[in-house]
Chain A
Amino acid sequence: MNGLLDGLTWLFDPDNWSGPTGVATRLVEHLWISGVSVLLACAVALPVGLWLGHMGRGGTLAINISNIGRAVPTFAILAMLYMTPLGLSNWTTIIALVLFGIPPILTNTYVGMREVDRDAVEAARGMGMNGTQLLRGVELPLATPLIMGGVRLATVQIVATATLAAVISGPGLGRIITSGFGRQDVPQIIGGAIIVCVLALVVEGLMAWLQRAVDPMRGARRRRGPLPDRDRGMPVIRDEVVSGA
């Protein structure tokens, strides 16, 4: 337990918070780079997922992209991007983060759209709704929890992966850990690890709250009991999904 206490002591030392390599700077870097990556990943994956789900096409791609994403080590992608002409720029990290943020959003959006009650869609069509009205008025509101589950999973994953960017000397809180390893300073390693974990848990909590807050059906849902598991931002796992192979 002593190791953890030393880590906390390191973390509460104001000297370690200031300066260009202090905790404060790294925290801002971490939040900035994660935020940009989440927005970019949403900008790419949401429209594609909504469109594929609405049209009912490309299901194999939309579902398998998550399986493939899981099989590719983040560390490998970071290392390879670092060796391209991009080198040590923030974009190296952002590209890697976006690549790993896209699959969960795309898969969840597609699955969310496909699992909208077919009767509701038929009824809306029967009432004369066209494609856009159907998408905005029926499919999107009903699919929101699962879509937000995907965004939540992607955000948590991006914040976690941003830590790993430190192994290519990228920005973010992971640098505290790697420089601790470099100097064999165990309290710094533990201190860095603690703040990284706290940040991850806070982000997960905030995203869980956001997911509930934006659900247009939350009143109706409360009466139906707790959310199914995958709506809580867990990976969509189905027993017939053929993975990356």
Chain B
Amino acid sequence: MLLVDIVLPGLVLGGMYALIALGLTLQYGVARIMNLSYGESLVAAAFGAFSLYSGLGLSPLAALLLAVPVAMVVNWLLYRFLLERLMRRSKDRGAQEIDSILVTFGVLFVIQGAMLVAFGGQYYSYSYLSIPLTIMGSTLAVNRLVALLFAALVGGAVYLALTRTRIGTAVRAIAVDANAARLVGIDVAALSGLAFAFGGGLVAVGGVLVSMFLTFNAAMGVIFTMKALVVVIMGGVGNVMGALVAGLLLGVVETAVARLVDPGLTLAATYALFLGVLLIRPTGLFGRAAS
């Protein structure tokens, strides 16, 4: 059953991609801030979960209750004291984007450096819910399925919050045109900060869940940032459901390439897919045409 062997693990892997991309959908897709320290924040959350589990025996799912508020506060501070100034400094969207990329680069190194000092460069992992489960002849771990389930739940909740609530609608309005949103009485600075902080909270969810089944070290944040960006852009910037589908698609493609061609070429496959989507549909698979 080669097909099942590719599709099931592919979907589980893709679920993880969708999970790690959720926070970025809010931070980049909605708050329109390109956070290049995204992956480092995610790894920091993973280290947090690891410390709580190995030090206090706290389960990762319980650790979420602590990690998410902390991440939200940290991200809000980051927005308030660094990014908001940049947003005010230039009116031009392009310049804002480049400034935020550059400043979050700096943040990337700070977080990474702090993790290197605290944990060194070696790999960490711990065992939680790593119970094998056989589905249709294909073996999967329970912790990965839990992560997949969370991705779907959190993704659905974010989608509903963005489309069905007043604040969600206001946040989407800012994403489309911040100046027009200001004209209709939306507090752009406050809500952008909120969206960014929420995105930070979702990063923490992703980091904690990923730590249950992945081996991680202080230097691998970049990989998560790249994967999340590819998923967000492929799904159409700001499109939560698109990110979910793009994540699953990417997981299946990578698994297929690893199984059928060469495991060393999965990254090449990722980029080929990414570039193909960008060149053919620059607004993403599910993005609306740019105005």
Indicate, yes or no, whether A interacts with B. no
